[in-house]
Structure 1
Amino acid sequence: MITFEGLGLEERLVKATSELGFVNPTAIQEKAIPVLLSGTKDLIGLAQTGTGKTAAFSLPLLQLIDAEQKHPQALVVCPTRELCLQIVKEIEQFKKHIKGVHVVAVYGGASIGLQIRDLKRGVQIVVATPGRLIDLIERKAINLEEIEYVVLDEADEMLNMGFKEDIEFILQNTPKRESTWLFSATMPPEIRKVSKRYMTDPIEVTVGKVNTANKNIDHQYYVTTAHQRYQSLKRLIDFNPGIYGIIFTRTKADAQEIAEKLTREGYDIDALHGDLTQQQRDKVMGQFRDKSLQLLIATDVAARGIDVQGITHVINYELPDDVEVYTHRSGRTGRAGNTGICMSIVHARELYRLRQIQNIVNSPFNRLEIPSGKDVCRKQFFYFMDKLLQTDISHGDYETYVPMLAEKFADVSKEEVLKRVAAMEFDRFLKYYENAEDLNVREQSRDARGRDRAGARRDDQRGGRERGNYNAAGNGEMTRLFVNLGSKDGFYKASFLQFILDMSDLRKDVLGRIDMKEMNSWIEIDKRAAGQMIKAIDGKNYKGRRIRMNDANSR
């Protein structure tokens, strides 16, 4: 087996990895570290999240930089504050035996004055989000002239979030860099363009297949009707009493609505979406990390860069439009060698899209039955019994109370005590699930399927948000809107869909087909909702330019 020492790392770094419990390098570390230690070769590392990419570039950086020089020599650019802080934390752990090396995190939502002060003290490694870094460059608070090594981490996510121009600006302002290291889970065409323009004969290292899902993840799906989607979500949460997971929704309105419903029903959950201030976001993430929250419900954009260990489940409340988004969602679990479960709640008409995702990620998807009420009660009961038996009673003076307890329960049998304990714990569950309906969609006769299709159309009008194409049957007259935003603005279809829904506070069921081009897009929408969308979006600014939206038929 290859060791970290065998990769060419110096003794101080090997000692740090050993103390952290790292015995053998992961696949991406084994392939990337020997290349990066040369310090002169560009590299593209393709690997899923949770495979050890941070150590793959952090360890070589610490070996290559000169601790005697007190100016920035290495720059790591990543998409979010959370990932920025995570990278700094790992670098701090790796450099514990190296004196004189300083690393600083710079990101939005925190005091720029304090970050400027930290930079002036003298640092060798800067870890930054693109927006704050450019702000510092324009203030002349940071000098990238002497940067030798640039790392672009989670490059695909940065491009999806619209940071393409920012990344190019940063690369243009590091003229003396010896090498550029790009790490990504996927390889969209935009990343290929950036690599061709700013990298020289990069060595490409791939771990697993691009766009494939982590083999440690069990992909499950459950088929139900549109109006029973929320009940199905509750049923799946209750059937997994030890769950610690993330639920993904398309829009911030959905995330907030479902979080509020589940909170009212007693679940430890909160929402993460674009309307939160940085302080609110930090509070939610802190509670999730210390497991005060059992569940986090998030939109795809808000969840960018979340790196939390030990997530057992990811639940897709609705399927994303893009396969890459599914890969990012599912990659939040099954990390660092652990196993995980990714569940998707789907409508019968979404099965074709599920098959497309399955074919591209090249991993089997298992259709399972939504548990019955009795199944949920049984699972909760066994979980409670195991918890009862494993309860630690060594840290309390319980012996003092045993005689009183024995006297109190002298005339009560052990069986009756157990029944009473069970009743206290399960009274709510038993009442709720006593006559619970079957939430599964069953195979039926042709006539029954016809009746169900008519019912499904009514479901969709009430709240179904499954389709990319609008069903014209009974859902109102459609019109087309023009907007001067397209793929060149850093959007892909799913992120653009979420952007216009978040801006307008509309639901997806008012939309039909979206035709996205490089510079412009056309949106099919229910005529009754068109005015609200135009009013909410037309005239607003996106990345410094004015958005134009109008009725395409009137152009």
Structure 2
Amino acid sequence: MKSFETLGLSKGLVESVLQIGFETPTPIQEKAIPVLLNGNRDFVGLAQTGTGKTAAFGLPLLELVDDKSRDTQALVLAPTRELGLQIANDLENFSEKFKSFNIVAVYGGSSISEQIRKVKKGAQIIVATPGRLIDLIDRKAINLKTIKYIVLDEADEMLNMGFKDDLDKILSFTPEDKATWLFSATMPREVRSIMKNYMSDPFELTVGEQNTGNVNIEHHYVIIQDKDRYLALKRILDYNPDIFGLIFCRTRIDTQKIAEMLMKDGYNADALHGDLTQQQRDRVMLKFRQRSLQILVATDVAARGIDVEDISHVIHLNIPDEMEFYTHRSGRTARAGKKGVSIAMISKRELGKVKQIEKTLKSPFKRMTIPTGAEVCQKQLLAFMHKVNEVKVNEDEIAEFLPAIEAELKSLTKQELIKRFASLEFNRFFDYYRNAPDLNVEGRRGASEGGEDRHSSSGARFFINLGKMDGIDVSKLIEVIDDASGLGKSDIGRIDLKGAYSFFEVDTEKADQILKGFSGIEYKGRQVRVEVTEQKEFGSRSRSSSSSSRDNNRGGGGGRSSGRSSGGGSRSRSSSSDQKKKWR
């Protein structure tokens, strides 16, 4: 393996890097730095988060930028303020023994006038979030015509967050002859579009297989019922007493709610989401980085760009719908070559989603059982005993207190003392977990003909006269069911797609909701027919009841009913033609 000295970097840069604690370059650094030092070619680097991409582009950037000029020569775009501040801080640390640069971080949630003042003092390097940079451009407070190098860090994240238009606008203000360096953990279609429109014959570097996961991450999943989700989360946390982790939720409301519940239950936790002020976010992140917080509960957007060392676990309270979201979530752990664990909490209906992620990442997922109460008590007790065994004894300071302690405990034998001492910790968990139920749900892994694993239930099975010949796949069928009946993905069980028809399952008590919802519904001009089947075997068509319409007309020009009540929850439908939505 090469050293930083052999990559072509100046002595001052190498000294700064070694002082920080970097001993040998990571694969992305080893391969990217020599190419970028030439400074004359566009570049695309694909590597997982936590592999050292900041140094991979930061060190060549510092080497190429002229510290004697006051012009803005380099622009680094990052998806979040946290990542932007981190990059700016890293660049300053990298250059400590090299050159004196004016590196300015530009981001929302902080004084724009102060940022403008710093930029106008002569910022050779600007690290910015797209939204705030647009504000400075609109105010004519920044000149991008002198840009020689632009870095798009976490490009897939920026596009996932909806910054496509902002990126287009920003890039339109930069010179044609600049060098564009793009770094990304994944390479979705939108990133390819950026490459096509704004880059010329880029040098492409992929470290590891494209879209594969970090090999240092252990991927696990647990199957739970929705009502047990929070209880199962606490079991996992209690079973890992030394956890230093991130919990991901889908919404800001859920994030705040879970964090508050954990704090109320005595966990050292806090929340990070978009409703917090910048001051609140900074305070939470400072506590987390200093490890005075053990658990950070976050949304996907708020946690993007977080680079905190030694995160041991990432827990997905809800598994994300997008593959890229899972990649970036799990990438918060196992950084810089260390090990980490990613745990997805799923229902039986989501086994197919796990299988799809597993296939894309080319990393196996292991089924993990939720610990029993007895297992949690044992793990906590052993962890406590380990702390006792490892504790540093301050002999001089404690010496004067020992006689009084020994006098208090003199009636106890060694065995009694051990039992009582252990009980101080054991009783706390044993009282809580006494007669605790088993939260594990039996699940199976297998694919239906339609290509998605879903749970097998004893609920109601439905025949629907839509299938693959209608351009229907599993996600489209779920969308049709949702729009017609108001039932979401979590309400729908196993799906079996055929050529001209399909079968799906829902809980028995929701059967009437399905039948009523599909009354009068059309798909691409074809009347949709939904019927309950009595056969246990999927694929049989014995009917017990059906939606009211039986018209099998395949003519064109129709629509589907989509009238919704404003109440949120149950949805009512009207068959009037002016409320129909056409399916395409």
Kept after mapping to 2: 8 A contact 1:479/1:530 = no
Q: Which residue of 2 aligns with 1:233?
A: 233
CA distance 1:192–1:443, shift in 2 (3 Å): closer
CA distance 1:53–1:196, shift in 2 (3 Å): same
Q: Which residue of 1 aligns with 2:195?
A: 195
* Correspondence list, 1:36-75, <5 A: 36-75=36-75
State which drifts further: 132-141 or 358-367. 132-141
Q: Which residue of 2 aligns with 1:138?
A: 138
Kept after mapping to 1: 8 A contact 2:491/2:507 = no
Is 1:314 matched with 2:307? no
Q: Which residue of 1 aligns with 2:327?
A: 327
The letter of the residue matching 2:390 is: Q
Cα distance in 2 for residues equivalent to 1:26 and 1:10: 18
Cα distance in 2 for residues equivalent to 1:156 and 1:85: 19
The structural deviation recorded for 1:527 is 4.3
Q: 5+ unaligned residues in a row in structure 1: which ranges? A: 455-462, 481-521, 535-549
Kept after mapping to 2: 8 A contact 1:227/1:464 = no
The letter of the residue matching 1:65 is: V
State which drifts further: 286-295 or 186-195. 286-295
Q: Which residue of 1 aligns with 2:120?
A: 120
Q: Which residue of 1 aligns with 2:383?
A: 383
* Correspondence list, 1:123-522, <5 A: 123-175=123-175, 177-394=177-394, 397-442=397-442, 453=459, 466=490, 471=506, 474-475=509-510, 476=513, 478=517
Q: Which residue of 1 aligns with 2:35?
A: 35
For the residue of structure 2 that corresponds to 1:302, the secondary structure is helix
Q: Which residue of 2 aligns with 1:504?
A: none
CA distance 1:465–1:345, shift in 2 (3 Å): farther
Q: CA RMSD in A?
A: 2.9
Larger radius of gyration: 2
The structural deviation recorded for 1:423 is 2.3
Cα distance in 2 for residues equivalent to 1:438 and 1:357: 27
The structural deviation recorded for 1:392 is 1.9
Cα distance in 2 for residues equivalent to 1:124 and 1:15: 22
Which has the bigger relative contact order, CA under 8 A and spacing at least 6?
Answer: 1
State which drifts further: 238-247 or 387-396. 387-396
CA offsets, 1:278-328, max 9 Å, x none? 222222222222222211111212222111111100011121111111111
For the residue of structure 1 that corresponds to 2:303, the secondary structure is coil
Q: Which residue of 2 aligns with 1:488?
A: none
Q: 5+ unaligned residues in a row in structure 2: which ranges? A: 445-454, 461-486, 494-504, 520-558, 572-577
For the residue of structure 2 that corresponds to 1:105, the secondary structure is strand
The structural deviation recorded for 1:162 is 0.7
The structural deviation recorded for 1:169 is 1.1
The letter of the residue matching 1:350 is: E
The letter of the residue matching 2:317 is: Y
Identity of aligned residues (%): 52
The structural deviation recorded for 1:414 is 2.3
Q: Which residue of 1 aligns with 2:97?
A: 97
Kept after mapping to 1: 8 A contact 2:65/2:73 = yes
For the residue of structure 1 that corresponds to 2:336, the secondary structure is coil
The letter of the residue matching 1:278 is: Q
Kept after mapping to 2: 8 A contact 1:248/1:300 = yes
The letter of the residue matching 1:153 is: D
The structural deviation recorded for 1:420 is 2.2
Kept after mapping to 2: 8 A contact 1:314/1:333 = yes
The structural deviation recorded for 1:526 is 10
How many residue pairs match? The answer is 488
CA distance 1:292–1:443, shift in 2 (3 Å): closer
CA offsets, 1:103-124, max 9 Å, x none? 1111000011111111122221
With normalisation by structure 1, the TM-score equals: 0.82
CA offsets, 1:153-200, max 9 Å, x none? 000000011101111111111115430000000111111111111111
The structural deviation recorded for 1:404 is 1.4
With normalisation by structure 2, the TM-score equals: 0.78
The letter of the residue matching 1:313 is: H
Kept after mapping to 1: 8 A contact 2:224/2:441 = yes
CA offsets, 1:22-51, max 9 Å, x none? 222111111111111111100000001000
The structural deviation recorded for 1:253 is 2.1
CA distance 1:464–1:175, shift in 2 (3 Å): closer
Cα distance in 2 for residues equivalent to 1:443 and 1:159: 36
